[in-house]
Amino acid sequence: MENSEKVRPDSILSLEGISKRFGPVWANRDISLNISQGEIHALLGENGAGKSTLMSILSGRYRPDQGGIRLKGKAVSFNSPAGALSIGIGMVYQRFMLVEPLSVAENIVLGCAGMLKSLDMGRINSEIESFSKEYGLYVDPGKKIHQLSMGERQKVEILKLLYRRAEILILDEPTAILSPPEIKPLFETLTRLAGAGRTIIFISHKLEEVMSLSDRISIMRRGKIIATLLPEQIRSKRELARLMVGREIVLKVDKEKVPVGKSVFAVKGLGSGGSDNHIPFDQIDLEVRTGEILAITGVAGNGQDTLVACLTGLLPFKKGSVTYKGRRFNSLEWIKTAKRGLVYIPEDRYGTASIPAQSLVENFMLTRVEEFGKGPFLDLKGARAETSGAIDHFGIKTPSGPSSKARQLSGGNLQKFILARELGRKPRLIIAEHPTQGLDVGATEEVWDSLLRQREHAAVILVSGDLKEVLSLADRIAVMFRGKILKVISTSDEEGVSQVGLLMAGVSERTDCGSI
Amino acid sequence: MVVFKVEKKADSGFSLIQILLLAVIPAILVGAVIFMAVGANPLRAYYIMFMGGFGDWFHFSEVLVKATPLIFTGLAVALAARMLLWNIGCEGQLVFGGIFASGTALFFQSYIPDPLMIPFVLLSGFAGGAVWALLPAILKARWEVNEIITTLMFNYIAVILMEHLYFGPWRDPMGRGFPGTAMFNESAWFPRFFQTRVHLGLFVAIAACMLLFVILKKTKWGYRITVTGNSLGAARYSGINITCQRIAVLIISGGLAGLAGTSEVCGIHLRLQQGLAVGYGYDGIIIAFLAGLNPLAVPFVAIILGGLIVGGDQLQTTLHLPSSISLVLEGTILLAILASNFFSLYRIRILRRSA
């Protein structure tokens, strides 16, 4: 692979040997990159490749452990987003930083009102409008943020940066929250901005976007930039995807064969319908049997979150039906049944699966309160005994036993505690969502072991974007892209498994024919 | 150059000593300044207030009488606040409890046997408060309508409705123009004790505190309330029906405030009359937060506040100061609590930095 990375004379921004470590993990390792003025530079990579960390360093949220940044040839350092912005580097985060009850104009001047002579909203409005017209970013300055669509909010975020005279604009997955018709105008805006001499860096998972928009593409994998390419150097999307995913050596865990039993859970034609806050999915058919782990995988933001919410009865679905233990349910019936029937291990350990401010005993009862005590009364002694037992059995490290508060536990120990609680319910169906996210190697292994052991009596649905995890645990892998399951692949099918990375990037055999 | 930095504390908490140091003592000092401003010796004023409330058994019994409705309203606010619901409408619910209890006492005496009258009056008073909390509860639970606004607005409606009743259709024809209903039949009077005005309401109130404590600590339902108050996300995940919980808790909260009105009309006034809505509902907010939302602490805090009110009246008779000075003290305490709440969550660190 040719590398077009060479020091350009006109580079406006240079990263020199940037490294950043979180505990034992190198999120970024020795990254050097030169970006020239007026360039649209794409940063491509899997979840956890280190893209967001790198951009957070560039925008002042983190400080690098090693390395430096040069802006127009001069070494710069800053330790806050405001600091970065003051020298012209601004970022649009995936989660917008807007004050909802305030108007567009108020949000735009927020934080720089001190720099203005007076708060003349009329002048501010006309200034915003001139930016709007110039770059195709029209938003009514008088509207309140909560009245705006996601696409309009994004425009406000971009306007905010322009208003603060940002020269370099970083966008973190700008299209993730947009509906398809909103994407094209955004690209036009970005092209116009680049034409006017502003520099754009954008993070993406989506190959097509990257190919059509960017001047150069940097691909990150495991904390490093492994290639920086011009679009014409890339022969096919498949090649780009392979670079992005890499040929990972799959660490096989000791996975004994377990006889596959009856079908426990199936969904047919499931669809979420449209909603503003959730990425929709449609036409989902899945089935999982006792003794089997079915993985649902995909790049974040392709509808997995919404699908899980519907499978676990937290959200109603609009189309299709669910079959559980041989009985069919419509959406309303399933919402009632799901909470009692299945075990759900959510992604959000602190806000959903546990109550940080309460003791482990109280947390242990969260999903099992009916087991402790007859009638209306609680059997706190019984709950305490069970909690102690679970802490010992799962080897959970706590500061003061069952009385410890949930928030005092480390992520790995809390996850083990949640597993202890949920698996103790002897479930027939388990839905585990990103169960090892943020955990160290040791805790990850323990979580994997517990999930594998559940196959003896349960069917497991594993939702994860971590390919290593999926390939290590699953019997079958369903790849989700833009709200649909592209394909379900058995892990014993080696040819099929090699396609998983490509499928995650939206490349299926039918659409990929070597050219773009 | 001295630089201050405000940091979030790792552990947030409210100990009794903290409340005393940060809320009560500053409030007393501010009160002293006010006494001096109106030309009174603060030490003498505080002495008169204390003796007026706690000086002898008779004065103390009056404190208990004042504390009775305050326990109910304090409990009502505390219960709702445990689920992060702000019931500012205790005043209106108290009034409605009074209206329902009066209605039962006035118009159903011929249908209800005398010995059963008091249980019926209590039940109907509870129901009155609950009914008045029901609409705000449904609005909140189903459509997230802010309960602070709705419950507050409902207070005004309730008061006007009550005035309409005792000025209009329910007015005592023999009352010679006095705004109030006829006196209840004796079967509806709460028994009084110890040759004072201390009445049954006090014991019902204390029993309610203990019952609620047991419910919150020892039952599954209490556990669910606590979970919902601590984390909506976890509550939803564990399958708690948040809509139903919110409605149930708000109407019980309303019912407790209704009992405050009941105990006032059947224990003290013995009729529905002007002077029922004197702010006990709002005092409940102060009591609930001073008590740290703990039902068992509510009676003690209510007695302290009752002492403040009764002692304030003594200032008027002895020193000829306006009795509303006790309201000023009350307000000062509340502000001091709010301020001290900041210190329970944050600490201020002094960083020294050479410029």
Q: Kindly provide the ipTM of the predicted complex, given to two decimals.
A: 0.79
- Which has the closest alpha carbon to A360: A432, A427, A411, A409? A409
Residue B332 to residues A65, B306, B336, Cα–Cα distance (Å): 51, 16, 6
Q: Which two tokens stand for residue B266?
A: 């059947």
Please indicate whether, in this complex, the C-beta atoms of B234 and A355 are within 8 angstroms of each other.
Answer: yes
Q: Which two tokens stand for residue A171?
A: 């966008």
Does the pLDDT of residue A250 top 50, yes or no?
A: no
Nearest to B227 among A366, A370, A373 (CB): A366
Instruction: Please tell me the predicted confidence (pLDDT) of residue A491.
Output: 84
Radius of gyration of chain A (CA): 25
Q: Which two tokens stand for residue A192?
A: 């116009």
Fill in the DSSP letter of residue A484: E
What is the rounded average pLDDT for all residues in chain A?
Answer: 83
Q: How confident is the model at residue A512 (pLDDT cuts 50, 70, 90)?
A: very low
Q: Which helix (H) or strand (E) holds B134?
A: helix B114-143
Indicate left, alpha or beta for A55 from its phi (over 0: left) and psi (-120 to 50: alpha): alpha
Please indicate whether, in this complex, the C-beta atoms of A376 and B234 are within 8 angstroms of each other.
Answer: no
In angstroms, the separation between the Cα of residue A428 and the nearest Cα of chain B is 17
Q: Which two tokens stand for residue A441?
A: 């190697």
Across-strand partners of A297?
Answer: A479
The SS3 call for residue A75 is: strand
Touching check for A332 and chain B: CB below 8 Å?
Answer: no
Q: Which helix (H) or strand (E) holds A199?
A: strand A199-204
Q: Considering only CB atoms, which chain A residues are within 8 Å of B230?
A: 355, 357-358
Instruction: Please tell me the predicted confidence (pLDDT) of residue A276.
Output: 60
Size of chain B, expressed as the number of residues it contains: 355
HEC profile of A281-306: CCCEEEEEECCCEEEEECCCCCCHHH
Interatomic CA distance for residues B273 and B182, integer angstroms: 9
Nearest to B233 among A351, A358, A380 (CB): A351
Instruction: Please tell me the predicted confidence (pLDDT) of residue A5.
Output: 44
Touching check for A358 and chain B: CB below 8 Å?
Answer: yes
Please indicate whether, in this complex, the C-beta atoms of B237 and A380 are within 8 angstroms of each other.
Answer: no
Instruction: Please tell me the predicted confidence (pLDDT) of residue A7.
Output: 44
As a whole number of Å, the end-to-end CA separation of chain A is 19
Please indicate whether, in this complex, the C-beta atoms of B234 and A366 are within 8 angstroms of each other.
Answer: yes
Instruction: Please tell me the predicted confidence (pLDDT) of residue B14.
Output: 54
Could you read off the pLDDT of B198-217 as tens digits, one per residue? 999 999 999 999 999 999 99
φ, ψ at A19 (rounded to 5°): -130, 145
Q: Considering only CB atoms, which chain A residues are within 8 Å of B239?
A: 339-340, 367
Could you read off the pLDDT of A154-168 as tens digits, one per residue? 889 999 888 888 899
Q: Which residue type occupies A199?
A: T
Give A296's contacts (C-beta < 8 A, 6+ positions apart): A286, A304, A307, A308, A461, A462, A463, A464, A478, A480, A485
Touching check for A150 and chain B: CB below 8 Å?
Answer: no
Q: How confident is the model at residue B98 (pLDDT cuts 50, 70, 90)?
A: very high
Instruction: Please tell me the predicted confidence (pLDDT) of residue A493.
Output: 81
Q: How confident is the model at residue B68 (pLDDT cuts 50, 70, 90)?
A: very high
Q: Are A208 and A508 in contact (CB under 8 A)?
A: no
Q: Which two tokens stand for residue A400?
A: 């003061």
From the number of C-beta atoms within 10 Å of its C-beta (0-12, 13-18, 19+), residue B8 rates as: exposed
Tell me which range, A117-121, A414-418, B247-251, B342-346, is most confidently predicted by mean pLDDT.
Answer: B247-251
Size of interface A-B (CB pairs under 8 A): 58
Q: What is the mean pLDDT of residues A503-509?
A: 70
Q: What is the mean pLDDT of residues A405-412?
A: 83
- Which has the closest alpha carbon to A204: A214, A195, A215? A214
Q: Are strands A40-45 and A66-71 parallel, antiparallel or unpaired?
A: unpaired
Q: What is the dihedral of CA A211, A217, A221, A222, to 10 degrees?
A: -140
Please indicate whether, in this complex, the C-beta atoms of B237 and A365 are within 8 angstroms of each other.
Answer: no
Domains of chain A: 11-245 (3.40.50.300), 261-342+429-442+466-509 (3.40.50.300), 352-427 (no CATH)
Segment B347-352 long-range contacts (CB within 8 Å, at least 24 positions apart):
B347/B6, B347/B7, B347/B9, B348/B4, B348/B5, B348/B6, B348/B7, B349/B4, B349/B5, B349/B6, B349/B7, B350/B2, B350/B3, B350/B4, B350/B5, B351/B2, B351/B3, B351/B4, B351/B5, B352/B1, B352/B2, B352/B3
Q: Considering only CB atoms, which chain B residues are within 8 Å of A340?
A: 239
Residue A502 to residues A298, A407, A512, Cα–Cα distance (Å): 10, 39, 10
Kindly report which listed range (A309-318, A498-507, B150-159, B170-179) carries the lowest average pLDDT score: A498-507
Could you read off the pLDDT of A289-314 as tens digits, one per residue? 999 999 999 877 788 888 998 999 88
Q: What is the mean pLDDT of residues A94-122?
A: 79
Interatomic CA distance for residues B104 and A454, integer angstroms: 61
List alpha helices for A37-101, DSSP H.
51-58, 81-86
Interatomic CA distance for residues A506 and A502, integer angstroms: 7
Which residue of chain A comes nearest to B11, CA vs CA? Answer: A357
Share of chain B above pLDDT 90, in %: 47
Q: How confident is the model at residue A21 (pLDDT cuts 50, 70, 90)?
A: confident
Q: Are A46 and A222 in contact (CB under 8 A)?
A: no
Touching check for A357 and chain B: CB below 8 Å?
Answer: yes
Name which of A337, A352, A364, A421 to mutate to probe chain B: the one with the most chain B Cβ atoms within 10 A of its Cβ. A352
In angstroms, the separation between the Cα of residue A346 and the nearest Cα of chain B is 9
Interatomic CA distance for residues B192 and B195, integer angstroms: 7
φ, ψ at A500 (rounded to 5°): -55, -45
- Residue spans of the domains in chain B: they are 69-305
Interatomic CA distance for residues A200 and B119, integer angstroms: 75
Interatomic CA distance for residues A353 and B239, integer angstroms: 12
Name which of B11, B12, B231 to mutate to probe chain A: the one with the most chain A Cβ atoms within 10 A of its Cβ. B231
In angstroms, the separation between the Cα of residue A447 and the nearest Cα of chain B is 21
Fill in the DSSP letter of residue B24: I
Q: Are B158 and B291 in contact (CB under 8 A)?
A: no
Kindly report which listed range (A364-368, A464-468, B41-45) carries the lowest average pLDDT score: A464-468
Q: What is the mean pLDDT of residues A224-230?
A: 87
Q: Considering only CB atoms, which chain B residues are within 8 Å of A370?
A: 220
Does the pLDDT of residue A408 top 90, yes or no?
A: no
Residue A11 to residues A38, A39, A86, A203, B141, Cα–Cα distance (Å): 10, 9, 19, 19, 57
Give A310's contacts (C-beta < 8 A, 6+ positions apart): A270, A272, A281, A316, A317, A331
Q: Are strands A168-172 and A199-204 parallel, antiparallel or unpaired?
A: parallel
φ, ψ at A224 (rounded to 5°): -125, 155
Share of chain A above pLDDT 90, in %: 17
Please indicate whether, in this complex, the C-beta atoms of B231 and A376 are within 8 angstroms of each other.
Answer: no
Does the pLDDT of residue A274 top 70, yes or no?
A: no
Q: How confident is the model at residue B160 (pLDDT cuts 50, 70, 90)?
A: very high
Could you read off the pLDDT of A433-490 as tens digits, one per residue? 988 876 766 677 788 888 998 888 899 999 988 777 888 889 999 998 888 888 898 8
Instruction: Please tell me the predicted confidence (pLDDT) of residue B214.
Output: 95
Interatomic CA distance for residues B343 and B13, integer angstroms: 9
Size of chain A, expressed as the number of residues it contains: 516
Kindly report which listed range (A148-157, A458-467, B299-308) carries the lowest average pLDDT score: A148-157
Q: What is the mean pLDDT of residues B23-41?
A: 83
Contacting A with CB below 8 Å, chain B residues are 218-224, 226-227, 230-231, 233-234, 236-239
Please indicate whether, in this complex, the C-beta atoms of B223 and A362 are within 8 angstroms of each other.
Answer: yes
Q: What is the mean pLDDT of residues A95-110?
A: 85
Indicate left, alpha or beta for B354 from its phi (over 0: left) and psi (-120 to 50: alpha): beta
Q: Considering only CB atoms, which chain A residues are within 8 Å of B224?
A: 369
Instruction: Please tell me the predicted confidence (pLDDT) of residue A388.
Output: 93
φ, ψ at B294 (rounded to 5°): -95, 120
Which residue of chain B comes nearest to A336, CA vs CA? Answer: B239
Could you read off the pLDDT of A32-77 as tens digits, one per residue? 999 988 999 999 877 667 888 888 888 888 888 888 898 888 888 8
Beta strands in A373-448, from DSSP E residues, in sequence order: 429-433
Q: Are A349 and A297 in contact (CB under 8 A)?
A: no
